[in-house]
């Protein structure tokens, strides 16, 4: 391999490592978060980290299927965060 391809591969591995550590830190915040708002933000951060990991996996494997999956996960993550926040604030989701 050339130097450029090796550099790209190393940065992808570094990205995997950084996102995995970030995912673990969000899990810790989810478990020990002092308030419900902290736990909601930790869940949202975990969704974003999972999206990043899936995108990096798609780049590494060179397939575009993973990018479509990330769009679906992003939509579900947004809707679930809004629904959970509404439930915490109002006690119901549907008015």
For the entire predicted model, the pTM comes to: 0.87
Return all residues near 59 (Cβ < 8 A) that are at least 6 apart. Answer: 12
Report how far Cα 52 is from the mean position of its chain's Cα atoms.
6
The domains found in the chain, sorted by start residue, are 1-90 (1.10.287)
Q: From the CB of residue 43, how many other CB atoms can be counted at a distance below 10 Å? A: 19
The pLDDT value recorded for residue 53 is 95
With 90 as the cut, is the pLDDT of residue 88 above it? no
The pLDDT value recorded for residue 89 is 84
Query: Do the Cβ atoms of 36 and 88 come closer than 8 Å?
Result: yes
Question: Distance (Å, rounded) from C-alpha 31 to C-alpha 19?
Answer: 18
Highest mean pLDDT among 15-19, 36-40, 60-64: 15-19
The pLDDT value recorded for residue 91 is 78
């Amino acid at each position: 391999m050339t130097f450029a391809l090796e550099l790209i591969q190393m940065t992808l591995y570094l990205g995997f490592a950084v996102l995995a550590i970030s995912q673990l830190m969000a899990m810790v915040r989810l478990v020990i978060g002092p308030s419900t708002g902290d736990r909601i933000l930790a869940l949202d951060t975990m969704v974003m980290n999972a999206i990043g990991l899936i995108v990096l996996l798609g780049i590494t494997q060179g397939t575009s299927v993973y990018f479509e999956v990330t769009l679906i996960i992003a939509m579900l993550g947004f809707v679930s965060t809004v629904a959970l926040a509404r439930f915490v604030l109002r006690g119901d989701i549907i008015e």
